[in-house]
Structures are given as structure tokens and as C-alpha cells.
């Protein structure tokens, strides 16, 4: 049922919508959310009943700690009231904070521990050559564990800092953790943005439904008419790299992978956001035309936005504002200059953040390298900013000009693609060969023969379909980048125009299924 | 407000109708009329009486000639096999044959790759679609509901795509517009289904009773010679639980209705058996054991003795399938075999044991060439497929792809490996000749491959 484009999921969704909006018309309207909870648990049950235990443990532990925080806050208030002087109040505050910290630490250790054990343990054992030993875990990765764990931990950290009051009703909290559209591949929603929407009643809003269907359709288009028709070509170019693989083929494979990954992940996110919107619930945006980014830092504000924001709020800031880093800032300002002093803490925090981003994707070395590459790139760009400013001045570049903007987009895209070497080449030992061949063994004359030797089904048609679809994707992205409400424009267009647009999308998607047998799975469903 | 809503509803309806029109046109142009599955079900629809059916994948489709079998054996049979037929489709085929004709005997092929597939059928497959058209919507839904509810079938994109049959059943895109044009022509010019298949697949001839075949012969020296399909990647003997369950249900269905179920393995080219070696033996044993546990006998005609079946290398049209000549030989042998079964005679003596069989092969059946690029040059490897008592020797050549002049890399020697260091980087053809050691022919077989250095 986790395949969105399937009879099973569509039947489930229709049933959910009917029941949800029917309940919305009764006097039990305020209990509409119960339908979502039951449906979400049913959906999760389909992925394996054992998984319910994991999500149950996460929800229960985080919820209990949230309640504990509330009680401790209450206790703090009472003790402060009875305190004799400011010093005693301060002491009360310190003690309560310490207890809250202990609880926070425990719940994080528990939940990250579960996540780490399931996700990383076997990889670590494999690294030491004990992957098949008796210590190896037999547990399969529960659906969406990385996403709901991060979402839950985000909630409890916010509760810890008193950003909002904890949820007192466990069932409601369980819905926040297990809401079915977010379980497949995120996004990592925030409690203050999502919870109220989940719990409040919703009426069927035709306008909303039309926009939601367009969003789902756009996601289906990206996933099937682009990502799935490219996956074999990416594999044939990058799956068996050796000394004889021409650099031109590797570059081509990485370029296709850049398109594939964006279309797969953002397509899936559009589909689940659209599904959620059918219920009148808007989930967090996860992509904003990432390949139009003008820097790597900008890229991470547009790509997997909810993970980036999570890392920013719960790792970057807490770390960059730590007293120890403040001392470093002071020292660096004195010894290395103002600019370095101002940026050094952020640079270090970025490196740690992106190390964790890499680790979030997996414990394999290539993911760690990928994360570090991004962190180091952002850190060095920050440190070298005066140099860039000086160069721009010297070369008299008009930074507001269109060509410079395009240059920055292309430069960023190339840097992102270099990062994809680390991301996509599963075997870290292939990396030196891949980089070497890209730089010194490009062999454009062997590009076609290599692809002929590694054929994929319907190769030409797949590339043609992906090419046409990418042009459409590009046009829509440009409009979105300019702030145009594309869905609104389509819905307001004359009937003939709308029909032509829908027909083109439907035909392209259906045609894609004649070229490749898609399993319907999403790349990020594995994380 | 009300007018606006009505307007929106009307425009949505217009768009829906237009969309159905577009998809209808696509279906007419793209859904293949000429498919083997359509042959099977059209023949099924036109048959008045059947007492025996042959069912399974393409190996069954190209092996059982019901015309020959009926003439010699006195049965009234039909071939209901189809390419890549899944166990569940086989079950539904048997069910349909019993419900309509009360067939007494089912002859099923069961190659072990079928048992290793975890995929349930695509609900939009040609076999299920055509069956649905023949048995009608009520019976289709009644008999297929369990499959539609199955996680593997309903939880994949194919389940929605069953509404668009052309997705799984369209002219090969390699033929471009020509394929679509031919398909439309067969729908407009009154061609029969058989004529439609013949138009779409030149060289294939329909012989009636659901059976058709080719007269083409496998070129054992072709670059395309390979151990069949996915088998090359399969290294374990484990079977999918769902597939085993499917076989169990077929056995139970037949047992409950007193249908005699005979499971056979049809012959494949000798080099394929050599290629898999002990794995082939073990896999066949595993299938036999599985069926034995269900009380069903399994007969492997690959091990048939010459007095039952004597096939030549020229009796196959590709790496796996018998051609029309081979199928007639096999069908004749099958009649003999059935006669003995009916007479209660012991048929064990008609088959070799695997070891006996391999010892009877005293020639080189094929060779597979491969090459990889390394720092010290191109590593060329030849793998000959030959009888257990045959010693072979290899000769290697190479040339740039643009050249037609082969350069000798190494003359005949027992080693199957050689390293060649070209003068320049580029793309090269390599060729491996093989012959029985001591022979003075230029080669028994050869094979070529391409490599980038």
C-alpha cells in the first residue's frame, strides 16, 4: 500500500476521504481526526505489524517526556513561588532544567538508539567484516523511521525550550507521529505547523481538492515520466565503474542522477503533500526549485527543506551558540581577523550539521563523505567570502546582472553534481577512479560504445521522454521561481487549454509505463 | 454561485469525456491484437470441446503441438500457455478450462525460474485481459477478486494501469510507427488474431488449437547466445513462498476435481544444461521434490533417452525454445510417453539420470566469450559448454571495432584465458574459437564480445 500509484492505495485513500468527510458532516465533527488516526495506523500496519511497535515506542516515550516537562515546569513555578530569594529561585531553575535535560537526553538516546541500531548497526558490523555474524540485526527498516523519529525529537526539543505546550492526549500525539502521508518519505513536519491542522475539523473544499489533485498529478508526472525512466540509464552508467569507464559516461550518469533524484524525491513529496491536502491539511514544503540555487547554502534552503530546517534549529544554532564556540569566536577575531571570527563558529557547526545529514542518509562511507563535502564547501565559501567580494570588485562584475545570476546557478549545479559522486557511488572505493576518469580519462569517443555495451531497455525512448518531460518541468519551475501560481493559472485557464495540459501529462505518464516496469517505490523511502 | 458550480461541474465532465476519448483512441491504436495470449483465448472461445490443455510459460507454448498430439493420441487438446505466464495466471487458465470444458488432464510446464519470481501477475497483462473478455465481467470478477485484492498485484502501478491494457500490451517500440500502423491495420482489415500475430511477428506461423511456432534455427555462434534470461543472475535454489503456494493451489484444485496433472520440463539447448552444470541438476531436483511433496510427478524431458526423444541442435529457435521441427519431435515423444503412462508402464527407463545424460554429450555445444579491461591489458576469457568427457582448447583474436582484420592474440591452447595489450585505447572486438582438443577443424564454435580499453 506504500506505492501511491496503486489500486490498493487509491482505494484506501478514497475510503479515508469518504469516511473523513462523512464524519465531518455529523455531530462528531470534532472527532474527524480519529478517522485519520485509525487510517494511519491501518496504513502502517500494512507495512508490517512489527513496525507498529517501533512507532508506538517513539510516540509513547516522547509523549510521556513531554508531559513530564509540563509537570516540571509547573513544579518550577510552585517552587519559585516558595523561594526565599533570587538565588534560591535561580537554584530551582537550575535543578529543574537539569532534570528536564536528563529526560530529554534519555528520550533522545532511546529513539536515536533505536534508529541507529536498525539503520546503522549492520553497516558498522559490515565495516568490521562481521556483517553476517550472530551480532547482526535481523530487523528490517520500519517505514519512515528516520522521518518520524526526527519529527518526534523536534517536538520534544521544542517542548523542552517551552516553545509550545505538550500534547496531553496520547491518541492525538500518535496521529502527529503516524499521520500516513508523511510516513513514506517525509517531509519532517513541525508540531506547531501540523498538529492543529490534524486535530481541527475540515469540510470538503472543492477548490482545495482541485489544487491537491494537480499537485498529486505533478508528482506522478515527475516520478514516472522522469525519474523512473532514467533509473536504468543511471545504473548502466554508474553501477560498474572501473578503469575503462570513460569519464564522459560518468559525468553523463551523474547528470542523469541529479535529474532522477530530484524528480523521484520531489515527485513523491508532491504526491504525499497533495494527498494530505485532499483532507485540507497542508504539510511542510520540502523543495523550492533547488537547481536554481545560487550557492550550496542556498541549495540546502531549497532541497529537502524540512531536514535542513531541522538541522538548523536543533543542531546548528544550539551548537554555534555554545559558550565554547563563543570563546573560539573571540580568539579567532583577535588572531585571525574579524571575518574569520564572525564565521568560524558557523563553519564548524555547518561541518557537523552536514556530517549528520550524511549520516542521516546512511552509515556507509560514501554518505559521510557526501555530507562532509557539503559541509566543507559551505564552510569554505563562508570563510572565503572576502576573497570572492574582492574578485568581483576587481573583475567589475555586476552581481545584479542576469548572466552573473545564471553563472551562479550553473556553478552551484556543478558543485551539487560533484557531491552526487559521493552520494550515488555506493562503493566509496570507486570514488578515486570516478574522479580520475572524469578529469584525466574523459574519452568522449568511447561514450557511445560504452553505452552500447551496457544497454538498457528502450534507452532512446526513455531519454526522449525524460527530455520532453524535463522541458515541461523546467518551464513550470521557472514560472514558480518567478512567483507565478502555476496551479492557479491552470485551474483558471479555458477548458480547451486545461484539457490539453491534462492530456499531455496523462499521456506522458502512461507512456512511461510502457517503457519501464516501475515498482512504484521511492528512493527516499529507504532512509 | 449555483451557476458557477454547474459550470465547473460541466467543464469537469467535458474534460473527463475528452480524456476518455483520447485514451480510447490510444487503446485502439496501441493495444496489440496479435498476441499469443489473444490466440489462446480466442481459440478457447471457439473450441467446442477440450479434454486436455497444455499450460505454462513460453516453453510450453512452443513445445506442445495439439494438432499432432490429437491426431496420434486421439485427444482433443489446446495449448493455453503464454509467454512469461505467472503461476496465478496458470491457475486461472486451468480454472477456466475446467469450468467450461471439464478438462480431464492438464499438462503444465514448470521451469524453476517461475518458482523464483516473487511478482504476482500484472493485472493488465494480455493473458488476464483477454481471459476477462472471453469469460465476461461477472465471471472475471468472481474468479479474479482474490488476485485483485492481492498485495503484490494491487499494490503496484500495474493495478491502476489495468484500466489501460495497451500499457502492458503494445507493439514493440523498436518498430516505431510501423508497428502501430501494422497493429491498426490488423484491426481494420478483418485479420484474424492469428494473422495479426503473424503480421506483428514475421516468421511465426499459427498451426491451430492455440499453438504457433517458428522454423528459425538458433545460431550457436551468435553474440546473443547466452544462458537463458535471468538465470544467469540466479545463484540460489530458494523458491518464493508465494510461487510455491501457487503451485500448491494448482495441485489442490486439480486433485479436488479429479483432473490429472502432469508436470513436465521441456528440453532446452544442450549448452544451457552444460552452462548451469550442477546447478541445473539441483534445480530440477528441487522442483521434483516440491511437486513430489504435493503428490505430483515431474518429468524432465531434457534427460529423455534417444528412444523417446532425439533432438538436434537445429531444433531450437533461440536459447530456450524449440522451433516447429523440434516441437513436433517433442510432441511425438510426448504421445509415446502418454501412451505408456496410460498403459500403466514404467516410464523411468525413458530418462537418463543427470550424470548419465551429461556423459552422453561428446561434443562442444557452444562457447561464451567475455573480456574486461585492466591496467595490464584486455583480459579475454572463453567458457566452452561441452560434455563431461570432452576436453577443449581455445584460440583468441582481437581487432578494433572499425577493422575487419582479426589479429591472433593466442593460438589454440587448453587455457581459457589470455591477456592482450593493445597499442592504443579504444573499443575492440574479441573473438574466442573453441574446439575439442586434438581436432583439426578450424573451430567447433566461436563467440565474440566487445570491450572498451
Dump pLDDT digits (tens) for B192-208: 999 999 999 999 999 99
Which pLDDT value is given to residue A455?
86
Residue A199 sits in the same domain as residue A149: yes
Residues in chain A, overall count: 527
Residue B69 sits in the same domain as residue B181: yes
Residue A145 sits in the same domain as residue A266: no
A443 to chain B nearest CA, in Å? 9
Domain that holds residue A391: 290-424
Dump pLDDT digits (tens) for B268-308: 888 888 877 777 888 888 888 889 988 898 999 999 999 99
State which H helix or E strand residue B427 sits in.
Answer: strand B427-436
Sequence-ordered alpha helix ranges (H) in A285-384: 296-302, 305-311, 317-320, 323-336, 338-361, 365-383
Cα B334 to Cα B70, B73, B90, B108, B446: the distances in Å are: 11, 9, 21, 13, 34
Find all residues with CB under 8 Å of B240, minimum gap 6, and list them.
Answer: B115, B116, B117, B118
A212 occurs within a structural domain: yes
Which of A494, A513, A516 is the best residue to mutate to test the B interface, defined by the most B CB atoms within 10 Å of its own CB?
A513
Chain A residues within 8 Å of chain B (Cβ atoms): 1-3, 5-11, 46, 206, 224, 242-244, 246, 443, 445-446, 449-450, 452-453, 458, 461, 495, 498-499, 502-503, 506-507, 510, 513-515, 517-520
Residue A327 sits in the same domain as residue A237: no
Alpha carbons within 13 A on the beta-carbon side of B405? 1
What are the φ and ψ backbone dihedral angles of B96, each rounded to 5 degrees? -65, -45
d(CA B365, CA B226): 12
Residue A54 sits in the same domain as residue A136: yes
Residue A436 sits in the same domain as residue A476: yes
Domain that holds residue B21: 1-25
A3 and B156: CB-CB below 8 Å? yes
Residue B378 sits in the same domain as residue B286: no
Which pLDDT value is given to residue A2?
73
Residue B204 sits in the same domain as residue B238: yes
Alpha carbons within 13 A on the beta-carbon side of A160? 22
What is the rounded average pLDDT of the residues B10-16?
A: 89
B334, B357, B380 - which closes a domain: B357
B325, B357, B389 - which closes a domain: B357
Residue B136 sits in the same domain as residue B170: yes
Residue B81 and residue B237 in contact, taking contact as beta carbons nearer than 8 Å = no
Residue B40 sits in the same domain as residue B9: no
The share of chain B scoring above pLDDT 90, in percent, equals 60
Minimum Cα–Cα distance from B156: chain A residue: A6
> Do the strands B392-400 and B298-300 form a parallel or antiparallel pair, or are they unpaired?
unpaired
What is the rounded average pLDDT of the residues B10-37?
A: 92
Residue B235 and residue B345 in contact, taking contact as beta carbons nearer than 8 Å = no
Residue B272 sits in the same domain as residue B410: no
A474 occurs within a structural domain: yes
Handedness of CA B238, B239, B245, B251 (dihedral sign): negative
A26 occurs within a structural domain: yes
Residue A187 sits in the same domain as residue A334: no
Residue B302 sits in the same domain as residue B422: no
The share of chain B scoring above pLDDT 70, in percent, equals 96
A379, A397, A424 - which closes a domain: A424
Cis bond upstream, residue A111 (ω within 30): no
More confident residue, B31 or B232: B31
Extract the C-alpha cell encoding B62. 512452443
d(CA A7, CA A10): 5
d(CA A418, CA A451): 21
Which pLDDT value is given to residue A18?
97
Domains held by chain B: number: 3
**Which residue among A7, A449, A458 sits closest to B427, beta carbon to beta carbon?**
A449
List, in sequence order, every residue forming a beta bridge with B300; answer none if it has no partner.
Answer: B265
Residue B351 sits in the same domain as residue B373: no
Tens-level pLDDT at each residue, chain A (527 residues): 678 999 999 999 999 999 999 999 999 999 999 999 999 999 999 888 888 999 999 999 999 999 999 999 999 999 988 888 888 889 999 999 999 999 999 999 999 999 988 888 887 887 777 766 666 666 677 888 999 999 999 999 999 999 999 999 999 999 999 999 999 888 999 999 999 999 999 999 999 999 999 999 999 999 999 999 999 999 999 998 988 899 999 999 999 999 999 999 999 999 999 999 999 999 999 999 999 999 999 999 999 999 999 999 999 999 888 888 888 888 999 988 898 898 999 999 999 999 999 998 988 889 999 999 999 999 999 999 999 999 999 999 999 999 999 999 999 999 999 999 999 998 888 999 999 999 999 999 889 989 988 888 889 999 999 999 999 999 999 999 999 999 999 999 999 999 999 999 999 999 999 998 766 677 766 66
Residue A29 and residue A68 in contact, taking contact as beta carbons nearer than 8 Å = no
Residue B263 sits in the same domain as residue B201: yes
Which pLDDT value is given to residue A135?
66
Residue A344 sits in the same domain as residue A403: yes
Which pLDDT value is given to residue B229?
44
B156 and A519: CB-CB below 8 Å? yes
Candidates A352, A353, A331; CA nearest to A341 is A331
Which of B17, B118, B153, B160 is the best residue to mutate to test the A interface, defined by the most A CB atoms within 10 Å of its own CB?
B160
CATH number of domain containing B58? 3.40.50.1110
Extract the C-alpha cell encoding B298. 515431474
Task: Kindly tell me if the per-residue pLDDT of B117 is higher than 80.
Answer: no
B320, B341, B357 - which closes a domain: B357
Give A405-408's long-range contacts (Cβ < 8 A, gap of 24+).
A405/A294, A408/A294, A408/A295
Residue A414 sits in the same domain as residue A501: no
Residue environment code for A274-308, b if the CB has 16+ CB neighbours within 10 A, otherwise e: bbbbbbbbebbebbbbbbbbebbbbbbebbbbbbb
Task: Kindly tell me if the per-residue pLDDT of B226 is higher than 70.
Answer: no
CATH number of domain containing B448? 2.60.40.10
How would you list the strands of the sheet with B417-420, edge to edge?
B364-374, B377-386, B417-420
d(CA B290, CA A444): 53
Domains held by chain A: number: 3
A256 occurs within a structural domain: yes
**Which residue among A7, A443, A519 sits closest to B159, beta carbon to beta carbon?**
A7
Q: Is B207 on the interface with A (CB under 8 A)?
A: no
ipTM for the predicted complex comes to 0.84
Which pLDDT value is given to residue B337?
96
Burial of B156 from C-beta contacts in 10 A (0-12 / 13-18 / 19+): buried
A339 to chain B nearest CA, in Å? 48
Extract the C-alpha cell encoding B175. 518498430
Dump pLDDT digits (tens) for B426-452: 889 999 999 999 889 999 999 999 998
A160, A186, A204 - which closes a domain: A204
Residue A253 sits in the same domain as residue A177: no
A445 and B426: CB-CB below 8 Å? yes
A453 occurs within a structural domain: yes
B158 to chain A nearest CA, in Å? 7
Residue B218 sits in the same domain as residue B327: yes
SS (H, E, C) B77-119: EEECCCCCCCHHHHHHHHHHHHHHHCCCEEEEECCHHHHCCCC
Candidates B265, B246, B244, B266; CA nearest to B254 is B246
d(CA A277, CA A221): 18
Task: Kindly tell me if the per-residue pLDDT of B151 is higher than 90.
Answer: no
Residue B351 sits in the same domain as residue B372: no
A172 occurs within a structural domain: yes
A298 occurs within a structural domain: yes
Residue B65 sits in the same domain as residue B140: yes
Residue A181 sits in the same domain as residue A49: yes
Find all residues with CB under 8 Å of B175, minimum gap 6, and list them.
Answer: B182
A204, A225, A259 - which closes a domain: A204
B156 to chain A nearest CA, in Å? 5
Task: Kindly tell me if the per-residue pLDDT of B231 is higher than 50.
Answer: no
d(CA A247, CA A252): 8
Give B 168-197 residues with CB within 8 A of chain A: 168, 170, 173
A1 occurs within a structural domain: no
Average pLDDT of chain B is 90
Residue A12 sits in the same domain as residue A82: yes
3-state secondary structure of B8: helix
Amino acid at each position: 500500500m506504500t506505492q501511491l500509484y496503486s489500486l490498493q492505495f487509491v482505494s484506501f485513500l478514497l475510503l479515508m476521504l469518504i469516511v473523513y468527510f462523512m464524519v465531518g458532516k455529523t455531530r462528531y465533527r470534532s472527532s474527524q481526526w480519529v478517522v485519520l488516526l485509525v487510517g494511519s495506523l491501518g496504513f502502517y500496519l500494512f507495512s508490517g505489524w512489527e513496525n507498529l511497535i517501533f512507532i508506538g515506542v517513539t510516540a509513547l516515550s516522547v509523549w510521556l517526556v513531554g508531559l513530564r516537562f509540563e509537570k516540571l515546569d509547573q513544579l518550577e513555578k510552585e517552587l519559585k513561588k516558595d523561594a526565599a530569594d533570587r538565588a534560591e529561585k535561580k537554584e530551582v531553575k537550575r535543578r529543574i532544567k537539569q532534570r528536564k535535560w536528563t529526560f530529554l537526553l534519555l528520550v533522545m538516546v532511546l529513539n536515536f538508539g533505536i534508529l541507529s541500531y536498525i539503520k546503522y548497526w549492520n553497516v558498522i558490523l559490515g565495516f568490521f567484516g562481521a556483517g553476517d555474524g550472530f551480532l547482526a540485526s535481523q530487523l528490517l527498516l520500519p517505514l519512515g523511521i528516520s522521518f518520524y523519529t526526527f519529527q518526534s525529537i523536534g517536538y520534544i526539543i521544542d517542548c523542552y525550550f517551552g516553545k509550545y505546550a505538550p500534547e496531553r492526549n496520547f491518541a492525538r500525539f500518535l496521529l502527529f507521529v503516524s499521520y500516513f502521508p508523511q510516513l513514506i518519505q517525509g517531509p519532517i513536519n513541525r508540531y506547531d505547523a501540523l498538529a492543529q491542522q490534524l486535530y481541527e475539523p475540515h469540510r470538503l473544499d472543492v477548490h482545495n481538492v482541485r489544487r491537491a489533485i494537480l499537485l498529486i498529478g505533478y508528482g506522478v508526472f515527475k516520478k514516472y515520466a522522469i525519474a523512473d525512466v532514467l533509473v536504468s540509464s543511471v545504473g548502466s552508467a554508474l553501477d560498474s565503474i572501473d578503469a575503462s569507464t570513460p569519464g564522459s559516461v560518468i559525468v553523463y550518469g551523474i547528470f542523469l542522477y541529479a535529474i532522477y533524484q530530484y524528480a523521484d524525491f520531489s515527485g513523491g513529496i508532491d504526491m504525499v503533500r497533495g494527498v494530505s491536502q485532499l483532507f485540507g491539511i497542508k504539510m511542510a514544503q520540502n523543495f523550492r526549485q533547488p537547481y536554481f540555487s545560487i550557492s550550496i547554502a542556498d541549495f540546502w534552503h531549497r532541497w529537502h527543506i524540512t531536514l535542513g530546517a531541522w538541522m538548523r534549529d536543533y543542531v546548528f544554532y544550539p551548537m554555534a551558540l555554545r559558550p565554547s564556540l563563543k570563546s573560539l569566536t573571540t580568539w579567532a577575531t583577535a588572531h585571525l581577523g574579524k571575518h574569520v571570527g564572525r564565521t568560524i563558529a558557523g563553519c564548524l557547526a555547518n561541518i557537523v550539521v552536514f556530517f549528520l545529514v550524511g549520516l542521516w542518509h546512511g552509515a556507509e562511507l560514501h554518505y559521510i563523505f557526501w555530507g562532509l563535502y557539503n559541509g566543507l564547501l559551505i564552510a569554505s565559501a563562508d570563510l572565503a567570502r572576502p576573497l570572492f567580494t574582492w574578485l568581483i570588485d576587481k573583475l567589475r562584475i555586476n552581481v545584479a546582472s542576469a548572466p552573473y545570476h545564471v553563472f551562479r546557478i550553473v556553478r552551484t549545479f556543478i558543485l551539487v553534481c560533484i557531491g552526487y559522486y559521493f552520494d550515488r557511488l555506493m562503493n566509496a572505493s570507486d570514488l578515486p577512479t570516478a574522479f580520475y576518469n572524469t578529469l584525466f580519462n574523459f574519452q568522449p569517443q568511447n561514450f557511445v560504445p560504452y553505452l552500447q555495451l551496457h544497454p538498457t531497455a528502450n534507452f532512446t525512448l526513455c531519454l526522449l521522454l525524460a527530455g520532453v518531460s524535463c522541458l515541461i518541468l523546467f518551464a513550470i519551475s521557472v514560472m514558480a521561481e518567478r512567483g507565478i501560481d502555476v496551479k492557479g493559472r491552470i485551474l483558471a485557464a479555458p477548458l480547451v487549454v486545461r484539457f490539453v495540459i491534462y492530456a499531455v501529462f496523462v499521456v506522458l505518464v502512461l507512456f512511461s509505463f510502457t517503457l519501464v516496469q516501475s515498482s512504484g517505490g521511492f528512493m527516499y523511502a529507504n532512509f | 454561485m449555483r451557476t458557477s458550480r454547474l459550470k465547473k461541474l460541466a467543464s469537469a465532465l467535458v474534460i473527463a469525456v475528452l480524456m476518455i476519448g483520447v485514451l480510447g483512441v490510444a487503446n485502439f491504436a496501441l493495444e496489440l491484437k496479435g498476441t499469443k495470449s489473444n490466440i489462446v483465448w480466442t481459440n478457447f472461445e471457439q473450441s467446442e470441446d477440450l479434454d486436455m490443455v497444455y499450460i505454462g510459460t513460453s516453453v510450453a507454448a512452443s513445445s506442445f503441438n495439439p494438432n499432432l498430439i490429437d491426431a496420434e493420441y486421439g485427444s482433443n487438446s489446446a495449448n493455453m500457455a503464454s509467454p512469461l505466464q505467472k503461476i496465478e495466471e496458470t491457475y486461472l487458465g486451468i480454472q477456466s478450462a475446467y469450468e467450461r470444458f471439464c478438462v480431464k488432464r492438464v499438462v503444465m510446464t514448470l521451469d524453476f525460474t517461475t518458482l523464483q519470481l516473487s511478482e504476482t501477475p500484472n493485472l493488465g497483462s494480455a493473458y488476464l485481459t483477454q481471459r476477462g473478455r472471453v469469460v465476461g465481467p461477472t465471471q472475471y470478477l468472481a474468479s479474479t477478486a482474490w488476485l485483485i485484492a492481492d498485495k503484490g498485484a494491487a499494490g503496484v502501478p500495474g493495478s491502476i494501469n489495468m484500466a489501460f491494457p495497451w500499457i502492458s500490451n503494445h507493439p514493440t517500440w523498436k518498430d516505431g510507427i510501423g508497428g502501430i500502423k501494422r497493429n491498426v491495420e490488423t484491426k481494420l482489415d478483418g485479420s484474424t488474431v492469428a494473422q495479426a500475430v503473424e503480421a506483428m511477428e514475421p516468421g511465426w506461423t499459427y498451426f491451430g488449437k492455440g499453438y504457433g511456432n517458428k522454423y528459425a534455427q538458433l545460431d550457436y555462434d551468435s553474440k546473443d547466445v547466452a544462458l537463458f534470461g535471468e538465470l544467469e543472475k540466479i545463484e540460489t535454489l530458494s523458491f518464493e513462498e508465494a510461487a510455491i503456494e501457487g503451485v500448491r493451489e494448482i495441485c489442490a484444485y486439480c486433485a479436488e476435481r479429479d483432473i490429472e496433472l502432469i508436470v513436465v520440463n521441456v528440453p532446452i539447448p544442450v549448452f544451457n544444461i552444460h552452462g548451469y552444470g550442477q546447478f541445473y541438476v539441483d534445480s530440477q531436483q528441487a522442483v521434483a521434490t516440491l511437486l513430489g511433496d504435493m503428490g505430483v510427478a515431474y518429468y524432465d524431458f531434457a534427460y529423455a533417452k534417444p528412444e523417446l526423444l532425439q533432438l538436434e541442435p537445429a531444433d531450437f529457435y533461440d536459447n530456450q525454445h524449440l522451433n516447429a521441427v523440434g516441437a513436433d519431435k517433442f510432441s511425438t515423444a510426448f504421445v509415446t510417453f502418454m501412451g505408456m503412462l496410460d498403459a500403466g508402464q514404467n516410464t523411468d527407463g525413458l530418462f537418463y539420470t543427470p550424470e548419465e545424460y551429461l556423459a552422453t554429450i561428446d561434443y562442444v555445444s557452444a562457447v561464451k566469450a567475455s573480456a574486461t579491461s585492466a591496467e595490464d591489458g584486455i583480459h579475454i576469457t572463453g567458457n566452452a559448454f561441452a560434455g563431461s568427457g570432452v576436453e577443449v582448447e581455445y584460440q583468441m583474436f582481437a581487432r578494433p571495432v572499425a577493422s575487419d582484420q582479426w589479429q591472433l592474440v593466442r593460438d589454440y591452447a587448453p587455457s581459457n584465458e589470455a591477456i592482450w595489450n593493445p597499442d592504443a585505447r579504444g573499443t575492440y572486438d574479441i573473438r574466442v574459437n573453441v574446439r575439442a582438443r586434438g581436432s583439426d577443424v578450424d573451430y567447433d564454435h566461436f563467440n565474440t564480445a566487445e570491450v572498451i580499453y
